[in-house]
């Protein structure tokens, strides 16, 4: 039978999420007068006196597990206006998944193109266009804690560019950020004075179009590094720089 594995974190109010998330909940009792008013009825006319349950959400499109659009990285991509999340082809967001184990990377490190190639050689896999590449750093184990946004490693510009050159259009990571954590980029900029180290992997989108998934989870539960499908359709946020996604891996048991 087909197995489904949730690779997403919750969209929730949590110490892990440095971007704003506010959820106002209305339960069945609170909503009952409002629901009854639709029908010119009384609360007593509703079964048990209960209305409906609802939530009102104020949140960044980059909170929780989400897909970044090229528009997030820069106003242009190549010689064209950068596309927003609702403009991207659906074909990008369902395909064969490939897991790259980067648990050996130091906290704050950046994965190189050579390390990506070495991991692909180790698992015996050759990338093909529109594969969905997932990078495991182990940072998801700190979800729910204040240190989550500074945990794990990230991807370098050269590794991102190399993946794009192989025809990869969607790639994701189990950390807060596709790049190395902000503290590590800040430290590198302080040491080098080189602006190229600032958000370097994201900025690859200036030249080549791609999407990244941030804040994946449960990659350690994938039973094999390839041979599974990934669905990661983002919500259709008009002119959005990102869209929340319920990322799911599917494989035969």
pLDDT tens sequence across 24-69: 999 999 999 999 999 999 999 999 999 999 999 999 999 999 999 9
pLDDT in the model for residue 138? 98
Q: Among 160, 173, 162, 154, which residue's Cα sits nearest to residue 105?
A: 154
pLDDT tens sequence across 181-194: 999 999 999 999 99
Token representation of residue 189? 């900029």
pLDDT in the model for residue 171? 98
How far, in Å, CA of 242 to CA of 238, rounded?
10
How far, in Å, CA of 175 to CA of 108, rounded?
11
pLDDT tens sequence across 145-187: 999 999 999 999 999 999 999 999 999 999 999 999 999 999 9
Q: Among 185, 188, 150, 213, which residue's Cα sits nearest to residue 9?
A: 213
* E-state strands within the chain: 2-6, 21-26, 54-59, 66-68, 76-77, 80-81, 94-101, 110-111, 132-136, 154-155, 170-173, 211-214, 226-231, 242-244, 248-252
Residues 22, 54 contacting (CB under 8 angstroms): no
**209-213 mean pLDDT:** 98
Angle (CA) 51 237 148, round 5°: 85
For 69, what's the count of Cα atoms within 13 Å in the CB-facing half-sphere?
Answer: 27
Tokens 């009952």 map to which residue? Answer: 32
Question: Residue 195 CB: number of other CB atoms within 10 A?
Answer: 10
Instruction: Judge if pTM exceeds 0.85.
Output: yes
DSSP 8: B
Distance of CA 5 to CAs 2, 160, 231, Å? 10, 25, 10
């Amino acid at each position: 039978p087909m197995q489904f594995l949730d690779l997403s974190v919750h969209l929730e109010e949590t110490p892990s999420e440095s971007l704003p998330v506010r959820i106002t909940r209305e339960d069945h009792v609170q909503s009952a007068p409002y629901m009854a008013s639709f029908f010119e009825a009384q609360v007593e006319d509703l079964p048990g006196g209960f209305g409906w349950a609802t939530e009102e959400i104020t949140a960044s499109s980059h909170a929780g597990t989400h897909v970044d659009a090229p528009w997030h990285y820069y106003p242009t991509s190549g010689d064209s206006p950068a596309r927003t999340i609702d403009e991207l082809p659906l074909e990008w967001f369902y395909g064969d998944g490939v897991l790259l184990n980067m648990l050996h990377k130091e906290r704050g490190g950046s994965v190189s193109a050579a390390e990506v190639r070495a991991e692909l050689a180790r698992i015996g896999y050759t990338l093909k266009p529109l594969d969905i590449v997932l990078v495991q750093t182990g940072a998801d184990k700190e979800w729910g804690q204040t240190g989550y946004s500074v945990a794990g490693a990230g991807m370098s510009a050269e590794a991102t560019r190399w993946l794009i050159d192989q025809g990869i259009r969607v790639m994701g990571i189990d950390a807060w950020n596709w790049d190395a954590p902000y503290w590590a980029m800040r430290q590198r900029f302080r040491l080098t004075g080189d602006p190229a180290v600032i958000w370097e992997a994201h900025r690859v989108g200036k030249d080549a179009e791609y999407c990244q998934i941030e804040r994946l989870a449960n990659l350690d539960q994938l039973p094999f590094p390839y041979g599974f499908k990934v669905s990661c359709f983002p919500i259709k946020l008009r002119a959005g720089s990102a869209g929340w996604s319920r990322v799911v891996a599917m494989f035969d048991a």
